[in-house]
Structure 1
Amino acid sequence: MIAETPAMHATTMHDLILHHYPMSPFAEKARLMLGHKGLVWHSVYIPTVMPKPDVVALTGGYRKTPLLQIGADIYCDTALIADVLEHREPEPPLFPVHARGLSRAVAQWADSSLFWASMGYTLSPKGAAKMFAGLPPGEGQAFAADRATMRQNMTLLRPADATCAYRSYLRRLANMLDEQPYLLGEVPCIADFAAYHPLWFTRKLNPGLADILDATPDVLEWMDRLAAIGHGRSDRMSSADAVGIARAATPEPIKAEEVFQDDHGIPLGSRVTIAAEAFGTETSEGVLLAATRTRYTIERHDDRAGTVHVHFPRVGYVLREVKA
């Protein structure tokens, strides 16, 4: 049983709680989206590598970073987190009216192709040696081993190929910025935040390799504009308190108007697993409560976190029925 603490009493069940760690690129994407919206949030630092007992208590297995928690509702993947923040605070928008579909398409490219090119370059053997040079012995090896586990069965770009692709992608971003301050116009949107975070990882976490950005000064200026947005206002919270908040809360009910989109022949109420398609494929298991046009929701019970609803985007995730 988790004892209640003053931090829990000071937090409402509708507060935003971001589970992240400072060096996570996808967490930087989420932090900037929170800043763009001017939102107040609680910051929970989680381990960079497994084990992550408090994360798993909330998700049942999913361990990628970041997570957004609102009471007993847990939202996985920054693509879904963006939708949740847009619903929470519509202005300023993440998805511009004039380019809704385009902004999502660019963001998906940035979160996949651009991201892996950046990682292949920034965490190449030379890059990793620079990045982990000042850390305690063994920390770099532990990080590399953990990420190798998450990448099982993935086909990765070799460092030389990643470097070539990264340079090309940077030129494409520069072309998009030729006559406007942001990728799709005069104000930032989801495309900007998704394209920014892989470059931020290179520039911030491995400055010894950041000279690859120098050939595209428009991109560097764009990065400075985005960094100036900041992360909104946050305060620190312990992961134990966040788990306790989930336990004390009741998940939001599934809305009656949410249409069941059955693409798998798996009825609602079935026991299922959900996992990412490629990277970090640990499964979360629970009862399927919703399968809408854009997301899945499962209900699960944990001895520490109580009953929670865990939400995933449909795109990029695999739904399977658990056979008796």
Structure 2
Amino acid sequence: MADLILHHFLISPFSEKVRLVLGYKQLAWKSVIVPGTMPKPDVVALTGGYRKTPFMQIGADIYCDSTLICEVLEQVQPEPTLYPRGTKGLAQTLAQWADSTLFWSVLAPPRNTGYMLAGMGDDAAAQFAQDRDAMKGAMLRLRAADAAAACKAYLLRLSGMLVTQPFLLGEAPCIADFSVYHSLWFSHQFTPLVAEMLDQSPKIICWMQRMALLGHGQMTPIDAAQAIAAAASAEPLTLGQGHLSDNIFQDEHGIPLGSRVTITAESFGPESTEGILVAATRSHFSLRRHDDRVGVVHVHFPRIGYVLNQVT
């Protein structure tokens, strides 16, 4: 199998989610640090437009969004599982809530941007803020006071799930643990109000310490040029025989395979990826696209959270 290459940056919450999954599964992986703001020419060469962090590359296959990345890692290394038998649906539903509702709630109160952007000059810090505002677009944002009230309620509920067991749904971590953890990990460092709430929640703090002990696996740093060369020297995996085994066409849009389409996130991150639709299954979309630097790649997205449109 080609190397697992994670394109990420250090303070990205969703990157920490994937790094911990790599550690839990004790996988070896290559690390490419991407810019925190646009322009990202090396990222766009691989993804065709998707610029959110992280994404994972395996040869000439590019997997976007942490939800899909985790499903791919489960195929690569099934044990220990992220989706325990009997609670898989519950774990996935809780994970989706954590990656969306919980995430935006704990990030809404004022953040310590001085510490978060330490080392950046004033111009770079302003560019970072403008970049994130552009990614949010017209997305509805919680007011800080409303978010703080929601955080208190959510943390109380999560704490209650840890009264009799070490992880959210049992004796071992599952996808829900990784999805809840990453935004709390970020907020504990950079959102003082949420950090104070967490410090008053000893069960959650102990759980976070257990999660952190999973580590990040065996990481080897490489640069973007090496990742691009790896894609250029590979061919995309045969659909249905790679890391996404679900290949049954599920048509919800009246758009046939082989059509030129765009895929765009429903909310955060308005940039689209354009290509030829080669898979539309119950769980994911796949596009074939060509770039002069990387050749032919398949770019994969989870179905939930993304919008498919035909190019006319």
TM-score where L is the length of structure 1: 0.92
Alignment partner, residue 212 of structure 2: 227
Matching of residues 62-141 of structure 1 within 5 Å: 62-121=50-109, 124=110, 127-129=112-114, 131-132=116-117, 135-141=120-126
SS state at 1:315 partner: coil
Match of 1:142 among 123, 127, 151: 127
Report the CA distance between 1:138 and its aligned residue.
2.4
In structure 2, do the counterparts of structure 1 residues 130 and 246 end up closer, same or farther at CA, with 3 Å as the change threshold? closer
The answer to whether 1:269 aligns with 2:254 is no
Match of 1:212 among 185, 192, 197: 197
Alignment partner, residue 33 of structure 2: 45
In structure 2, do the counterparts of structure 1 residues 55 and 186 end up closer, same or farther at CA, with 3 Å as the change threshold? same
Alignment partner, residue 158 of structure 2: 173
Letter in 1 for 2:238: P
- Following the alignment from structure 2 to structure 1, what is the Cα–Cα distance between the partners of residues 10 and 56? 15
In structure 2, do the counterparts of structure 1 residues 134 and 74 end up closer, same or farther at CA, with 3 Å as the change threshold? closer
In structure 2, do the counterparts of structure 1 residues 120 and 196 end up closer, same or farther at CA, with 3 Å as the change threshold? same
For residues 209-242 of structure 1, the C-alpha deviation after alignment (integer angstroms, 9 at most, x for no partner) is 6222122110000000000000000100101110
- Following the alignment from structure 1 to structure 2, what is the Cα–Cα distance between the partners of residues 202 and 191? 17
Match of 1:243 among 228, 232, 246: 228
- Following the alignment from structure 1 to structure 2, what is the Cα–Cα distance between the partners of residues 240 and 131? 28
For residues 88-134 of structure 1, the C-alpha deviation after alignment (integer angstroms, 9 at most, x for no partner) is 1100000010200000000000000000011102xx2x633554466
Alignment partner, residue 290 of structure 2: 301
Alignment partner, residue 311 of structure 2: 322
Q: Report sequence identity in percent.
A: 55
For residues 270-296 of structure 1, the C-alpha deviation after alignment (integer angstroms, 9 at most, x for no partner) is 000001000002000000000011000
- Following the alignment from structure 1 to structure 2, what is the Cα–Cα distance between the partners of residues 102 and 214? 27
Report the CA distance between 1:243 and its aligned residue.
0.8
Alignment partner, residue 196 of structure 1: 181
Report the CA distance between 1:32 and its aligned residue.
0.3
Match of 1:56 among 22, 44, 66: 44
Report the CA distance between 1:306 and its aligned residue.
0.8
Contact 1:103 / 1:191 at 8 angstroms: preserved in 2? yes
For residues 133-158 of structure 1, the C-alpha deviation after alignment (integer angstroms, 9 at most, x for no partner) is 66422232211111100000100001
Contact 2:115 / 2:190 at 8 angstroms: preserved in 1? no
SS state at 1:43 partner: strand
- Following the alignment from structure 2 to structure 1, what is the Cα–Cα distance between the partners of residues 116 and 240? 46
SS state at 2:297 partner: strand
In structure 2, do the counterparts of structure 1 residues 210 and 146 end up closer, same or farther at CA, with 3 Å as the change threshold? same
The answer to whether 1:152 aligns with 2:137 is yes
- Following the alignment from structure 2 to structure 1, what is the Cα–Cα distance between the partners of residues 311 and 298? 18
SS state at 1:308 partner: strand
- Following the alignment from structure 2 to structure 1, what is the Cα–Cα distance between the partners of residues 181 and 73? 18
For residues 231-264 of structure 1, the C-alpha deviation after alignment (integer angstroms, 9 at most, x for no partner) is 0001001011101110110000113872110000
CA RMSD of aligned residues (A): 1.5
Q: What 5-or-longer segments of structure 2 have no aligned partner?
A: none
TM-score where L is the length of structure 2: 0.95
Alignment partner, residue 148 of structure 2: 163
Contact 1:300 / 1:307 at 8 angstroms: preserved in 2? yes
Alignment partner, residue 269 of structure 2: 280
Report the CA distance between 1:207 and its aligned residue.
6.0
- Following the alignment from structure 2 to structure 1, what is the Cα–Cα distance between the partners of residues 119 and 262? 40
For residues 20-74 of structure 1, the C-alpha deviation after alignment (integer angstroms, 9 at most, x for no partner) is 0000000000000110111000000000111111110001100000000000000
How many residue pairs are counted as aligned between the two chains?
A: 308
Report the CA distance between 1:17 and its aligned residue.
0.2
- Following the alignment from structure 1 to structure 2, what is the Cα–Cα distance between the partners of residues 235 and 208? 35
